[in-house]
Copies of this chain bind each other. A is one copy, B any other.
Amino acid sequence: MNETERNLRADGLTHFDAQGRAIMVDVSEKAKTVREATASGRIRVSKEVRAAIENGTAKKGNVLGVARIAGIMAAKETSHLIPLCHPLPLAKCAVEFDITDMEDKTTDAYVIARATVRTTAETGVEMEALTAVSVALLTVYDMCKAIDKRMEIGAVHLDRKTGGKSGDFVR
């Protein structure tokens, strides 16, 4: 029984050891492979915010351009933000946005952010993708909050991960 197995807990909380102490779990016996994760989320914005973003994007004040940079830089800060997350080299990080009407046909809209992160490492980059999405959406909030403070961030989730022993995941 190796250390990783000894750390397996019945309740599945792998970030704690058998005594319940938080640990950054040992990955030194795992294979270094190419791993990729895609996460997405959205922020609900008013008609006025949508117009400001769309006009700014087309012309000058580029809200989504700034949010994209914030998301990419945040992916690189993930292990400094999430206490038990392993520091990893990142091979790639991309963040893209879409703006869509609401399902229920109100005048509000969704700005959707999707981040894809890739690494060659012993552990995956789900948290990097989720952090990039969250900070990109927070940046949209920050840049538009003078217009409307009621924006809401939601549906932040993992879309897909590939690579690693636990197998691929598609939501």
Contact = CB atoms under 8 A, between A and B. Distances in A.
A69 B83 contact: yes
Interface residues of A, number: 92
A131 B134 CA distance: 9
A81 interface: yes
**How many chain copies?**
6
B14 A146 contact: yes
Nearest to A63: B13
A64 to B, nearest CB: 9
Interface in A104-156: 118-122, 126-127, 130-131, 134-135, 138-139, 141-147, 149-156
Contacts of A19: 60
Given A9-B61, A83-B70, A154-B156, A92 B149 contact: no
A165 interface: no
A26 interface: yes
